[in-house]
Amino acid sequence: MNTQQLLQESERSRKALLSILEDQKRTEVNLRKSEAYNRLLFNSSPIGLVLCKMDGSLVDVNPAYANLLGRTVEETLKLSYWDITPKKYADQEKQQLKSLDETGKYGPYEKEYIHKDGHLVPVRLHGLIFEQEGERFIWSSVEDIAERKLAEERETRLGHILDESLNEIYIFDATTLKFIEVNRSARANLGYSIDELRKMTPLDLKPEFTLQSFNELVSPLRTGEQELIVFETIHRRKNGSDYQVEVHLQCSTYEAKSVFIAIILDITERKRAEEEIKLTNKELETINKIIASATSTFDLKLILEKVMDEALNVVGLEGGTICLINPDNTFELAVEKGATQETIDDLTNNKIKVGDCLCGNCAKECKPLILQTKEEVLDYATREVLRGEDIRFHAAFPFVVEKKCVGVLCVFTRTDKKPSERNLKLLESIVAQTAIAIENSRLYEEVKKHTLQLEHIVSERTAELQSANKELEAFSYSVSHDLRAPLRAIDGFSLALLEDYSDKLDNEGKHHLQRVRNGATEMAQLIDDLLNLSRISRRELTRGSVDMSKIVKSITDKLNSSEPDRKAVFNIADNIHAAGDSNLLKIVMKNLLNNAWKFTSKKKNATIEFGVLETEGKTVYYIKDNGVGFDMKYADKLFSPFQRLHRKEDYPGTGIGLATVRRIILKHGGSIWAESELGKGAAFYFTV
C-alpha cells in the first residue's frame, strides 16, 4: 500500500473515530438527560418509591415515601426497612421475601409502617428484584391507603349500625324507587330477603299509596322545600299481615346516587297503648260521672237514674232495670229503661224474692250473671212475662255492701248485639261504686231520721236548760239581795256592840264579836265570788286583740301600792298579746297574780314572772313565782270550787278564784295546768 493510500485510510479512521466519539458524547448527554428525567419522575411521584438492599438498608427513597413516615428524605435514609415495620408483620415479611426469591417479585400486599410520631400508617406495597453490578436490590412502590381504610371502616360501621338498629331502615333510589339497602330489622319484620326487596319499591309495602300519591308526598323533599317529612302509614308483610308505622323520610346521596333514606318505627304497640288510654280515660270519665252524681246528692232515685243511663251507654244496649232489696228479701223496682209495661207491672205487683228468676239468682249468688244467648236466658227465667220477651242477652250485677247484696242492676237486649268483655268489666266497676252510693244514701236517710230525733231531744233539753238558767238567775238574785241583808245586819249590830258597849265587854267578848264580823265579811266575799263564777258561765265572749303585758303591769302596780313595804321583783315580758275577751282575761290575770302575790308574802325576796313560750306550735302564757308552792299530788283539786291546799289562817281566800280562772280559759277554748314543788314556788300555764 502506497503512501497515498495510507493517508486516505488514516483519514477514514480518524473520521470514524471522531464519529464514534461524537456518538459517545451524544449518548452520555442523553443518558444524563434520562437520569435527570428519571430523578424528576422519582422525586415527584405521588406514590412512595424505595430502593433497599436485601438486608433492609435503605438506598434511595422519594419524598412521597418519606412523607408517609413523617420524615425528611435524609432522616429516612438513616433508617433500616425493619425500623419502620411493626414486629407483628415478621411472618408476612418472610413470605414476601420467599416469593421474591422464587419469582423475582412480591405483592401487592397490605401492611403498616411506623410513623415518626408512633402511630401506624396503612400502606399497600409491591416490588421486584433489581440487580446492579452483581448486587441485588429490592425496588418497591408504596401506596398510602389510610383514606381508603377509613372509607371501608365507615362503610363497615354504617352497615353494622344499619343492621344493629332496632328500627327499620330503608335506602331506595329517588328516581326508580327501587330498594338499594334494607337493614336486618326491616327484613325480619317484613319476611322478605334482601334480594327480594331489591326488586321491590316502597309502593309494594304500602297498600294505601299509589305512585301519584307517593310522589306528591315526597315532592317537598325532591324540591328541597323540606329536609324531613314524618307521616304514619301501613306496612304489609310478605304473609299479608299489616302493621302500623311512623316514617321519617329524607333525601340524601348514596354511592353518587340521589336516594331516599327512610327510618321506620313500628308503632303498633304505641297505637294499641293510645287506644287503651282512650278507652281507660272513657271508663274513668264514666266512673267519675257516677261518683260525681253520688256525691252531689243523696237522692237515691236521681243517682240510680244516672247509673242506669251510664250503664246502657257503656254496653250499648237498649234496656235495663235496677231493683233494690227490701228487708223482707223482696225486690223493689227503682229504675227502668226500655222495659215493657208487662215487665214493669210484673216487677211492681209480684213480690219477687232473692233466689227467684234472673235478678234473684244474681242476688243469691252475690256475683254477676252473664247470659249470652236466648236459651241461657230461658234456662234461668221463671217469670212468664220475661220468658215471652225474646231477650237474647242478659247481664245482672249485684250491688254488694259488706258481703251483702242490697240490689241488682240488669241490662238486656232483644237483638243479637252483645257488649264486649271489657265493657262488662267496666259495668261491674260502676256497680261497685253505685253500691257505695246506695249505702251512703241509706245511711244519710238514717242520719236524717236520727238528726230529727236529736233535734227534738236537743229542743227539749234546751227548754229544760233555759228553765234551769232562769231558776239559777232567780237563785243568784236571791243570793245577791236576800242573803246580803242578814249579813249586813250581823255586821252592823256587831259593830254597834263593839262601839257602844265596848266598856261592858271584856277582851274575849270583843274578840268573839270581831270574829263574827270577819265571818260576815268573808261570807259577803264568797257570795260575790260565786256570783262572778255564775255570770262568767252565761256571759258571751267579745273577742279581740288583748295586750296582756299592759294588763299585767296594771295589776302589779296596784299590788305594789297595796303593800309598799314589800320587796317583790316583777319580771314582765313586753309586747305580749292574746286573742280573747279583754275583761275576762283581766279576771284571769288578776286571780293568778293575786295568788302569786299571796303565796310569796312570806318570802324576803319575792319574784313573780310573766311570759310566753311556744310548745308544739301553740303559744303558752305563764305566771311563775318563788313562793310556798304545793304538793303536785293534789294538783287535780286546784281548779275546783272551795278546794284549798293551804290553811286558811296562813293564806286567806274563798277557794273560788282558780275555779273562775279555769272556767274563763275553757270558755276561750284553751287549757290551764300547774307545776309546783313545795317550798320552791309554782307556775301556772294556759292557752287561749
Amino acid 230: pLDDT: 93
Amino acid 539: pLDDT: 62
CA–CA dist 265, 253 (Å, integer): 22
Give 48-67 pLDDT, tens digit per residue.
888 888 888 888 899 988 99
Amino acid 249: pLDDT: 93
Contact 627, 599 (CB under 8 A): yes
Cell readout for 42 is: 422519582
Contact partners, residue 532, CB within 8 Å, separation at least 6? 587, 656, 660
Give the three-state DSSP class for 540. coil
Amino acid 208: pLDDT: 86
Amino acid 149: pLDDT: 75
CB atoms within 10 A of CB 495: 15
Beta-strand ranges (E) seen in 255-344 are 257-266, 319-325, 331-337
> The pTM is what?
0.37
CB atoms within 10 A of CB 458: 12
Task: With residue 349 as reference, give the H or E element that holds it.
Answer: helix 341-349
Q: In 62-193, which ranges are continuous DSSP H helix?
A: 63-68, 73-77, 90-103, 146-164, 184-190
84 exposure class (CB count in 10 Å sphere: 0-12, 13-18, 19+): buried
Amino acid 38: pLDDT: 61
Contact partners, residue 618, CB within 8 Å, separation at least 6? 687
The parts of the chain modelled with pLDDT lower than 70 are 1-38, 151-163, 165, 279-281, 283-284, 286-298, 464-485, 487, 519-520, 522-541, 640-656
Task: With residue 665 as reference, give the H or E element that holds it.
Answer: helix 657-667
Amino acid 634: pLDDT: 72
Nearest one of 137, 119, 127, 116 to 66, comparing CA atoms:
116
Amino acid 538: pLDDT: 59
Nearest one of 581, 556, 584, 546 to 662, comparing CA atoms:
584
CA–CA dist 581, 351 (Å, integer): 65
Amino acid 72: pLDDT: 92
Contact 431, 396 (CB under 8 A): no
Amino acid 345: pLDDT: 83
CA–CA dist 395, 190 (Å, integer): 44
Please, which residues bridge with residue 143 across strands?
124
β-strand pairing of 568-572 with 606-615 = parallel
Task: With residue 401 as reference, give the H or E element that holds it.
Answer: strand 393-401
547 exposure class (CB count in 10 Å sphere: 0-12, 13-18, 19+): middle
Amino acid 177: pLDDT: 93
Amino acid 102: pLDDT: 83
Amino acid 571: pLDDT: 92
Contact partners, residue 313, CB within 8 Å, separation at least 6? 286
Nearest one of 593, 646, 598, 601 to 624, comparing CA atoms:
593
CA–CA dist 379, 369 (Å, integer): 12
- Residue 180 vs residues 200, 235, 672: alpha-carbon distances, Å: 10, 18, 92
- Residue 258 vs residues 173, 177, 261, 379: alpha-carbon distances, Å: 6, 10, 10, 72
Q: Cell 421486584: give the residue.
A: 128
